[in-house]
Amino acid sequence: MVDHDFKMRLNAQRQRVEDMFDFEGRKVGRGTYGHVYKACPRNDDGEYKNQYAIKLIEGAGISMSACREIALLRELKHPNVISLQRVFLSHSDRKVWLLFDYAEHDLWHIIKFHRAAKASKRTVMVPKGMVKSLLFQILDGIHYLHSNWVLHRDLKPANILLMGDGPERGRVKIADMGFARLFNNPLKPLADLDPVVVTFWYRAPELLLGARHYTKAIDIWAVGCIFAELLTSEPIFHCRQEDIKTSNPYHQDQLDRIFNVMGFPNEKDWEDIRKMPEYQKLTTDFKRNAYLSSNLQKYMEKHKVKSECRAFLLLQKLLTMDPTKRISAQEAMDDPYFKEEPTPTSDVFLGCPIPYPKREFLTDEETEEKSEMTKQSTQATLPPVATLSTVGSLDQPGPMKKMRMNESECHTSGSDVDHAVDHGLGSDAQHQSGYGDHVIESELWSSFSASFLINSIIIRKYFFYQCSIFILHFQQCPMYV
């Protein structure tokens, strides 16, 4: 039993997040499960020092996605993966705040900038050296995740952050680990836990065909999609998004778009395609002859990317239909593409004269999606084959439906995964490691199943208690709310 006087003294020492940081009116987007704000620490003299991104998790308590992301980020440490700086837990209203370093840019806004220039007949492509540095750092971060048995499962331009001015200027940070999973020894097929993963435009064909035991190759396919988008300033596999909230992994329109670019797959190129759960639908929903003239080479040459260049040859390896033949992150990093000039740099903006705009603040009522759609008429146009009635905004595919727990104790339910940016990064010097004695607690978080929590009130309360102990154990209690 905690001494009452001690508890009162401890509560008096705690500071509110609102008192420590100024972030009112500075909303910059949403992540997988919360709102993200640009925050500045308050000093005694009223001046601001460093800038941070602070994420307020939606609802009271903490969701399984938040637990999973916190547990993973506590143990992952790499220059190209976001670093969780601190976790704040409010005992009064049970709100949870995550603190990251602030990233001024993300790949979605950068590609959007170039697409807008292209639409206004001012073709300004992403500089070749910048593309190479971006891709190399993304692959480096993904290789680190895969080497530690982690699948990201939601790679897209919005989740690739870029540091602004400062010691890590131009550094890539892979963000939003809310969908990440360990894949070394799952208790059941990953498809049973999450039947639909990865935003549609970046979803690998094996996922669309209902693969139950998918691998790290799904992340590689998404990297290939991002690479193609950097080279052309357009999403390579954009499609209709009316049924984005379905739990069925099969998506005919997305497969049609892939086949229109890549051609229809055959057993020679993909030996196990007949084993895909949704394979029979390929024979009923598609006509093979309709895609005879389609191939990646033709598509990229239409966008002025020559088939003999190193970039295209690497892209082919990343976008291989058969996941067993798809190149790994390490193999991609060793590709000759990165050996020729200009070689990759740690600052992707090095030598780039383009003044990319900074983030804009959103109102409480305005989501990032609505904010961007109000600008489409002046900043971007759809391709000739697309219409507003059939294709989502080319700025970004629609949000995925995030599976949530229904109980109000742990988290609010029915929230969609918005496609705005998760803003969080951290320097190595400021990173607080989660290794050592706390690994067991992290694994405990990752191993709890949502159904187990839902079916047991006692376990739910115990789970939240353990989360609180886990968070406070890493930090100095007086500094917490």
Mean pLDDT of the chain: 76
- Together in a domain, 277 and 392: yes
Same domain, 352 and 464: no
Q: Are residues 365 and 220 in the same domain?
A: yes
Examine residue 93 and state whether it is found in any structural domain, yes or no.
Answer: yes
Give the residue-averaged pLDDT of 132-139.
99
How confident is the model over 162-166, as a mean pLDDT? Answer: 94
The reply to whether 417 falls in a domain is no
Q: Which helix (H) or strand (E) holds 285?
A: helix 279-285
Buried b (16+ CB within 10 A) or exposed e, 117-140: bbbeeeeebbbebbbbbbbbbbbb
Please provide residue 371's backbone torsions phi and psi, each rounded to the nearest 5 degrees: -60, -40
Per-residue pLDDT at 395: 53
Do residues 188 and 213 share a domain? yes
Q: Does the pLDDT at position 115 exceed 90?
A: yes
* Candidate ranges 35-49, 181-195, 287-301; pick with highest mean pLDDT: 287-301
How many C-alpha atoms does 18 have within 13 Å on its Cβ side?
Answer: 4
As a whole number of Å, the CA-based R_g of the chain is: 23
User: Do both 216 and 285 map to the same domain?
Assistant: yes
pLDDT digits (tens, 9 = 90+) for 329-385: 999 999 999 999 999 999 999 999 999 999 988 876 555 454 444 343 333 332 333
Q: Are 293 and 195 within one domain?
A: yes
> Are residues 152 and 268 located together in one domain of the fold?
yes
One domain for residues 76 and 126: no
pLDDT at 376: 37
Domain membership of residue 321 as a residue range: 105-401
For residue 62, the model assigns a pLDDT of 76
Residue 154 a catalytic site member: yes
Per-residue pLDDT at 189? 56
Q: Are 335 and 473 part of one and the same domain?
A: no
Tokens, residue 422? 């998760």
Which residues contact residue 34 at a Cβ distance below 8 angstroms, ignoring those fewer than 6 apart?
A: 55, 56, 57, 58, 66, 98
Domain-located, residue 172 = yes
pLDDT category, 388, cuts 50, 70, 90?
Answer: very low
Percent of residues, the chain, with pLDDT higher than 70: 68
Which of 401, 433, 451 is the endpoint of a domain? Answer: 401
- Angle between helix 310-318 and helix 217-232 axes, rounded to 10 deg: 150
Whether the predicted pLDDT of 459 surpasses 60: no
* 268 is an annotated ligand-binding site residue: no
pLDDT surpassing 90 at residue 440: no
The answer to whether residues 134 and 95 belong to one domain is no
Instruction: Tell me, yes or no, whether 347 and 233 share the same domain.
Output: yes
Lowest mean pLDDT among 93-97, 267-271, 318-322: 93-97
Report the pLDDT averaged over residues 210-214: 87
pLDDT at 185: 62
- On whether both 236 and 262 belong to a single domain, the answer is yes
Tell me which of 154, 176, 418, 422 is the catalytic residue: 154
Residue-wise DSSP of 31-61? -SSEEEEEEEEPPTTS-----EEEEEESSSS
List, for residues 60-79, the tens digit of each pLDDT value: 677 777 888 899 999 999 99
Mean pLDDT of 258-287: 94
Question: Averaged over 224-251, what is the pLDDT?
Answer: 85
CATH code of residue 174: 1.10.510.10
- Domains held by the chain: number: 2
Q: For residue 4, is it within any domain?
A: no
Grade residue 236 by pLDDT with cuts at 50, 70 and 90.
very high
- What pLDDT is attached to residue 263? 97
Six token digits for residue 280: 């029979």
**pLDDT for the residue numbered 398:** 54
